[in-house]
Amino acid sequence: MSTPKKPILEPLRVRIRRAQFIVGLGFLALVMGSVLAGDLSVRLSVRLESLPFQGLVYVIGLAVRNLWVLAVLPLLCYGAARVLELRPWSTALGAALTGQAFLLAVEFVRNGVEGWVDRGWLATALEWGVLGVGVVLSQRAVVRGRAAAGKQTERAQQQAAARKDEYAEFLQEAERAGEKLAQREQSLPSPEQAVAPAAPGAETPEQKSEDVPKAPAA
What pLDDT does 8 receive?
74
Element containing residue 149 per DSSP (H, E) = helix 88-187
What pLDDT does 164 receive?
73
Is 89 a domain residue? yes
Lowest-pLDDT range of 31-40, 100-109, 151-160, 191-200 = 191-200
What pLDDT does 125 receive?
87
Is 181 a domain residue? no
Is 125 a domain residue? yes
Q: What is the reported pTM?
A: 0.66
What pLDDT does 25 receive?
92
Q: How confident is the model at residue 1 (pLDDT cuts 50, 70, 90)?
A: very low
Integer CA distances (angstroms), 114 to 5, 68, 110, in order = 50, 25, 10
Is 51 a domain residue? yes
Is 203 a domain residue? no
Is 153 a domain residue? no
Reported as a single tens digit per residue, the pLDDT across 18-30 is: 889 999 999 999 9
Is 185 a domain residue? no
Residue 6 clears pLDDT 70, i.e. is over it = no
State the residue range of the domain holding 19.
Answer: 8-148
Is 191 a domain residue? no
b/e map of 115-138 (b: 16 or more CB within 10 Å)?
Answer: eeeeeeeeeeebbeebbeebbebb
Counting the structural domains of the chain, the total is 1
Residue 217 clears pLDDT 50, i.e. is over it = no
